């Protein structure tokens, strides 16, 4: 999938990396361009909403538009909804379990999700796929049988226990995430000379952009992060 290019030569106009543009590029909200970038070899478009790492959530009507475009272009649409339950807008009253948010938009749409992130249980390998397409479902079930024969009943038992306390667990997690996001937000605000960000609406990630070189340049900044704070910075490209 295409993202907004960050490369430019000296003398070229600086790309506008304002949060609004980051939003539209990183979330592929420019759906027409996204589909214009497909070729005859493209079989599937995959999006992640809530997005990792940006934390922005596509609205139901945006997913529906993607689904319509995918249908017109004869493509499958895969929507990774792994972080759907970690939405900052949720309150304990509306934490209703919805599986396969996108799959309802057509039998060419596949929703996938898992329990690892939202409930912090990477050790149990429980996830799911939702589709209304019977023939695809047959294929996925056959693949599952070949890969793992059966899910672990122990993992499923643990998952059931977690789901039975879902509202209680999520309320606590979301309250904690809101507290942490506010902490980061106030820091980004304080450092607004150097940083900006796309404030996340869901999930546990955020995307902070260094918009002005720190004192001594970026390399020195990374060294300070490592030596003084034990933080490694990996290459983004």
Q: How many CB atoms lie within 10 A of CB 49?
A: 26
CB nearer to ligand PLP: give 123 or 230: 123
The total number of residues shown for the chain amounts to: 237
Q: How far is the CB of 114 from ligand PLP (least distance, A)?
A: 3
CB nearer to ligand PLP: give 99 or 226: 99
Task: Confirm or reject binding of residue 52 to ligand PLP (CB under 6 A).
Answer: yes
CB nearer to ligand PLP: give 144 or 212: 144
Per CB under 6 A, the list member of 21, 122, 218, 220 interacting with ligand PLP is: 122
Task: Confirm or reject binding of residue 85 to ligand PLP (CB under 6 A).
Answer: no
CB nearer to ligand PLP: give 52 or 65: 52
Size of residue set near ligand PLP by CB under 6 A: 8
- Contact residues for 77 (Cβ-Cβ < 8 A; gap 6+): 44, 45, 46, 47, 66, 67, 70, 102, 105, 106, 108, 109, 110
Task: Confirm or reject binding of residue 48 to ligand PLP (CB under 6 A).
Answer: yes
Q: Which helix (H) or strand (E) holds 63?
A: helix 60-72
* Token digits of residue 53: 């790492």
d(CA 47, CA 50): 9
Per CB under 6 A, the list member of 38, 82, 90, 111 interacting with ligand PLP is: 82
CB nearer to ligand PLP: give 15 or 127: 127
Per CB under 6 A, the list member of 17, 68, 116, 171 interacting with ligand PLP is: 116
Task: Confirm or reject binding of residue 64 to ligand PLP (CB under 6 A).
Answer: no
CB 64 within 8 A of CB 105: yes
* Stretch in the footprint of ligand PLP (CB under 6 A) among 89-97, 114-122, 166-174, 181-189: 114-122
Task: Confirm or reject binding of residue 114 to ligand PLP (CB under 6 A).
Answer: yes
CB 205 within 8 A of CB 55: yes
CB nearer to ligand PLP: give 74 or 156: 156
d(CA 89, CA 34): 28
b/e map of 20-37 (b: 16 or more CB within 10 Å)?
eebeebbbbbebeebbee
Site residues for ligand PLP per CB under 6 A: 48, 52, 80, 82, 114, 116, 122, 127
């Amino acid at each position: 999938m295409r993202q907004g290019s960050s490369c430019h030569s000296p003398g070229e106009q600086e790309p506008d990396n304002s949060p609004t543009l980051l939003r539209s590029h990183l979330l592929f909200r420019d759906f027409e361009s996204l589909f214009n970038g497909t070729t005859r070899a493209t079989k599937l478009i995959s999006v992640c909403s809530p997005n990792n790492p940006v934390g922005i959530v596509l609205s139901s009507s945006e997913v529906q538009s993607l689904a319509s475009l995918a249908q017109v272009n004869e493509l499958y649409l895969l929507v990774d909804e792994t972080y759907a339950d970690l939405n900052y807008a949720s309150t304990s009253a509306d934490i209703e379990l919805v599986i396969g948010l996108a799959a309802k938009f057509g039998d060419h749409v596949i929703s996938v999700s898992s329990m690892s992130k939202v409930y912090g249980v990477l050790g149990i390998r429980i996830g799911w796929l939702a589709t209304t397409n019977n023939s695809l479902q047959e294929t996925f079930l056959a693949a599952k049988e070949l890969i793992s024969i059966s899910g672990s009943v122990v993992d499923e038992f643990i998952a059931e226990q977690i789901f039975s306390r879902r509202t209680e667990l999520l309320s606590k997690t979301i309250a904690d995430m809101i507290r942490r996001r506010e902490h980061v937000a106030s820091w980004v605000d304080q450092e607004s000379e150097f940083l900006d960000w796309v404030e996340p609406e869901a999930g546990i990630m955020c995307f902070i952009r260094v918009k002005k070189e720190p004192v001594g340049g970026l390399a020195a900044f990374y060294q300070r992060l490592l030596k003084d704070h034990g933080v490694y910075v990996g290459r983004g490209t």
